[in-house]
Amino acid sequence: MRILAIATVLVVGALSACHQRRLQPPAQEVDLVVIAPHPDDEVLMAGGVLEAALKAHRRVAVIVLTNGDFGCFDDRDGTVRQAETVTALSSLGVAEDDVHFLGYPDGHLPRLTDVPLPAVAWRAPDGSCRTRGATLATRGAGRQDEHTRRTGSPGPFTAEGLTGDLAALLEGLAPRDVYLPHAVDEHRDHAATYAFVRRALERLNRGLIVLHRAIVHAGRCWPTDCATHYVPDADEPPLPAPLEAYAPTERVPVDAARKLSLIARYPTQAGPDAAQDWLAGFARRSEPFYVERLERKDGRWSRADVARATERPVGHGARVRLESGEELELSVSPERATLHDGERVVATWSLAAVTPPYVLRVEQSSAEAGYSDWTLFGGGAFAGAGVVRGFPAP
């Protein structure tokens, strides 16, 4: 049976909005925002985009969801990694006050629910190993995490907290263009970042917004061949099978040498010689994006360029037949939804804080497109998204 391709994102958490007082003025409106899961992803995904925008006198901002402090390790020192981001972006001309650290726990974004996570380990500025159970940052706008900056106190590690922080920032920044990880990114924090952004957008009443989706993690060593990392005259190679025909819809020209110099400003991640590190694989002649134009339709954000769409309620045992004749089945438990083809798991969604009824929406930009975007909603809330080869049969 031909392998079907789908990548999912996880979003969990309460949906009720928190009405919190603002202690700082709203963020200033900008033209574009880059949203990164960890310090360094902003440059890996869109360093060239940021530089080109600034040269064109466009206003930019960067949002970083975590400090990259996964445990108490030298290369995961959140204080140091925040400083690396500020230094790298400053070399482009991005002011520190235009960098917003949210301070949520690295490696735990898909686990966020309406129940606060237990305290996680981190390396304190004095070098000691400690635990913390709330948002924290020492750099960026206000030299503190955004929840503290906005409300006066750190936020617990909950899905509602992260969604609310993102929604408040996006409301104040009001960007038309947002650069962020793609739902098919294999890193769970990256996939979850896309999901939380979509959740945050549901709280905004805006016109058209353009999401430029980037992929950083797609299999071992990708986009390199595990041997040669720095290939400045090449574009990124195709994604691994079965997404090899899923091609970017936008490529932004980049000065590869300049981007490598930016990557080198993250020594905890790129090492002493960035050209010899896997991260150098992102210093190429272009930055690829999968563009998704969203607009509000019937109270929900949907793709603006849809030629074909289908939406149906689903539950445990629901079957979806593709035009190719292949059939997928959805299995639902209180915690998880699993999409499979009878032989293998095609996708899973966390349903920790998403309630029935479930609705599956599939959208395709043209009848000839080989892939379609699948979105799962639970209780009216965005639950997950993915890409599948093929389209449901009528």
Q: Is the pLDDT of residue 24 over 70?
A: no
Count of the separate structural domains present in the chain: 2
Q: What is the CATH number of the domain that holds 108?
A: 3.40.50.10320
Q: Which residues of 242-281 are buried (b: 16+ CB within 10 A; e: fewer)?
A: ebeebebeeebebbbeebbebbbbbebbbbeebbebbbbb
Same domain, 150 and 233: yes
Domain of residue 56 covers: 32-295
Q: What does the pLDDT look like over 170-229, one tens digit per residue?
A: 999 999 999 999 988 999 899 889 989 999 999 998 888 999 999 999 989 999 999 999
Same domain, 60 and 111: yes
User: Which pLDDT band, with edges at 50, 70 and 90, does 29 fall under?
Assistant: very high
Q: Classify residue 94: in a domain, yes or no.
A: yes
Among the candidates 250, 274, 295, a domain finishes at 295
What phi and psi, each to the nearest 5 degrees, are found at residue 239? -70, 155
Question: Rounded mean pLDDT of 109-113?
Answer: 88
Same domain, 289 and 322: no
Q: What is the 3-state secondary structure (H, E, C) of 332-378?
A: ECCCEEEEECCCCEEEEEECCCCCCCEEEEEEECCCCCCEEEEEEEE
Same domain, 326 and 216: no
Q: Considering the entire predicted model, what is its pTM?
A: 0.91
User: CA-CA distances (angstroms) from residue 210 to 194, 195, 328?
Assistant: 13, 15, 30
Q: Is the pLDDT of residue 3 over 60?
A: no
Same domain, 229 and 350: no
Contact 332, 351 (CB under 8 A): yes
What is the Cα Rg of the chain in Å?
A: 20
Q: What does the pLDDT look like over 300-316, one tens digit per residue?
A: 788 888 999 999 999 88
Same domain, 272 and 384: no
Same domain, 253 and 117: yes
Question: Rounded mean pLDDT of 110-136?
Answer: 91
Question: Rounded mean pLDDT of 148-156?
Answer: 96
% of the chain residues with pLDDT over 70:
91
Contact 169, 204 (CB under 8 A): no
Q: Classify residue 394: in a domain, yes or no.
A: no
Q: Is the pLDDT of residue 375 over 60?
A: yes
Same domain, 190 and 123: yes
Pick from 102, 334, 264: which is nearest to 196 by CA? 102
